[in-house]
Structures are given as C-alpha cells and as structure tokens.
Amino acid sequence: MEAALEWAGSSAVQAHGVLVLSGLTSVYITMARPTIRLAADGSHTCPPASLWEAGTSPALSAVAMCLFRFVMAVYIFGMGATQFMRMGTYVFKFYTIWNWWLLGLYFMLAATASALCALAESRAARARAADEKPDSAAASANGNATSGNVATKSPPETPRSLQRATMLSRTCHALFMINSSTVIIVDCVCWGLLYPMLARGPQTPETQRIIRRLLLTFTSYNQHGLNALYIFIDLFLNRHRLAFHATGPLGLWSMAYAVWAHVWHAKSGKWLYPFLDTAKPWAPVAYFGLYMVHWGAFGLVALLYRAKARLYSRSGEALAAADSGRGKGKTD
C-alpha cells in the first residue's frame, strides 16, 4: 500500500495524470462540439463552417484575400524550407517548427478556399449580368416612361456552392482556431519561460546552439513573434467564427507533440524542453500550467474577436452616417 501511494505521489505519475486528463477533455470537446451559448438553431452544438466563411472577407474581395494568403503561405514555406536546408531534420524536434509549418498549411488551404470563392462569385456575377440584359433592354424601350424612377439593386446573394460546409472549409476553420491560439503559446512560452531558463541554466554546447541558431535569429523572430502578427491580420480580415469547441483540436495538437516529446526522451534520454522533465518535483505544476496556458490563449483570442466586432461595428456606423450626410446634401 505504501509503495502504491509513493508511486501515485511521484511527480512523473502526477504529471502524466494531468496529461491524460487534458487529453480526455480535448477528445470530449472535439467530439461533442459544445457551445457556451445556444447556437442559432437553438442547439448546444456549433454548426460546421461554410466555404463562404472560410474564403471571403467583410473588408476585402475574395481575390485580395487569396493573394494575401498565398503570399503568406509562400513566405512561411520558403522560410521553413530554407531553415530545413540549413539545419536539417534537427529543427523538426521542436514545437515551434511544428506550428510554423501548420501556420503555412493554414494559409495555403485558406488561399485555396478564397480562390474557390472568387471563382464562384465571378460565375455568379456573369450569370446575373446575363439575366439583367433583357431587363435593361426593356427599360430602355420604355424610354421616358420610367425616366423619373431610380433603379435600386439588391446586394448579390451568396452563391449556393459557397453556403455548404466542405472538408476544406472545416479544415480551414480548425487550423485557424488552432493557429490563433498556438502563436500566443509559442511566443509567450519562448520569451517568458524557455529563453530565461536556457540563458540562466548550464551553458552546454547544445544549449548554446539552441540559443544562437534557433532563438536569436531573424527566422526565430518570425517564428516567435511575427507569427502572431500574420495570423491576427487574417483574424481581422476573415469571417471565421469564434468556436468554443476549437479548444478540443487545440489540445489534441499539443497532446500529439507531448507524445512525440516523450518518445524522443525515451529514445535519447533528453528532454526537448526543460519544463517537460517529469523527474522534477515541480513537473505536475508545470504540466498543469501548460494546460491552463492553452485556455488563457483561447481567452485572448476571444478578446481579439470582441475588438474585431467593435471595430467593424464602428466602421459600419461611420459609413451609415456618411451615406446619410450625402443623402441630406442631395435633398438640400
């Protein structure tokens, strides 16, 4: 009995217990897709994202969104490929690199979604133009009989092909929600925890190599700082909904890396990050803290969504006021 209690009280067992519980929580949230509030249809689950949500923007055209995302994908993959050619497979041991390539994958798939939306909107516009030709011919035939009437056009409807959820749109939504949180985690853990631990710890050749070649470089500043700027620009431009159930895939993604880190430790006897060492007495606290960091990052993303809503609301009010002023000027 004492041996069992001693085993259960060890830091390694407690740390792995936290890891298992966080994994089970992530699986449940991913499968159940719960929402904090009632969805539009009155249910407690979130409907999947449509292609229109994944590929269009309230601020830019689908073509402009496609170009922005394509440029970002090329930049991210190009930098990642250059880093790989310079340092080899060594870099793929680290969580930062996993997330950098995941960020590039999001921008590539999101650019594809925007391209599909641009093509669908172009086809719909040509179809509307073809339908309006007979109407314009009839109006010109009426001549002065309708010269006093002002024709108003209703805004174009979203093409039906863009209203349905596809594997591409659902993947884009999931990848966006994962990336928008992991960039916060990567940047905060890197500069707030990892770098101080490495700089103050034993200065082994491996530690010096990590600091010089993986942290204090232009590539690192992209992967541990500007990565947040890239995804948050997309956040303020896209139509992705804030989804509570996205914390599920987010947790599973980090869980996958945790499993990989343990496999690496079992093979090499070394931990990729010092705060993952389950032999330390503070390991359970560290693992629980990393779990809570994920929730904190998601909370910050939710605050950014609130700021985005206010920004667009004020922009809409300003445009409405400007339109009202122009209308009064015409009547005066």
pLDDT digits (tens, 9 = 90+) for 54-110: 999 999 999 999 999 999 999 999 999 999 998 888 888 889 999 999 999 999 999
- CB within 8 Å of 60: residues ≥ 6 apart: 68, 237
pLDDT digits (tens, 9 = 90+) for 153-188: 445 567 776 788 889 999 999 999 999 999 999 999
Residues in the chain: 332
Tokens of 293: 């960091």
Q: How confident is the model at residue 226 (pLDDT cuts 50, 70, 90)?
A: very high
Rounded percentage of the chain residues whose pLDDT exceeds 90: 34
DSSP string, 226-291: IHHHHHHHHHHHS-PPP-GGGHHHHHHHHHHHHHHHHHHHHHHS--SSGGG-TTSTTHHHHHHHHH
Question: Is a pLDDT exceeding 60 seen at residue 150?
Answer: no
Dist. CA 174–CA 29, nearest whole Å? 13
Mean pLDDT of 238-263: 88
Between 209 and 147, residue with greater pLDDT: 209
Mean pLDDT of 10-37: 82
Between 115 and 327, residue with greater pLDDT: 115
Q: How confident is the model at residue 147 (pLDDT cuts 50, 70, 90)?
A: very low
Domain ranges of the chain: 2-125+162-324
Tell me the pTM. Answer: 0.82
Q: How many helices and strands in the chain, by DSSP H and E?
A: 13, 0
C-beta separation of 244 from 33 below 8 A: no
pLDDT at 219: 92
Mean pLDDT of 286-302: 89
Question: What phi and psi values does residue 5 have, to the nearest 5 degrees?
Answer: -65, -40
Q: Which helix (H) or strand (E) holds 21?
A: helix 11-32
Of the candidates 98, 39, 48, which has an alpha carbon nearest to the alpha carbon of residue 256? Answer: 98
Dist. CA 175–CA 49, nearest whole Å? 12
Q: How confident is the model at residue 46 (pLDDT cuts 50, 70, 90)?
A: low
Question: What phi and psi values does residue 313 have, to the nearest 5 degrees?
Answer: -65, -45
Helix (H, G, I), strand (E, B) or coil at 34: strand
Tokens of 29: 């949230």
Rounded percentage of the chain residues whose pLDDT exceeds 70: 80
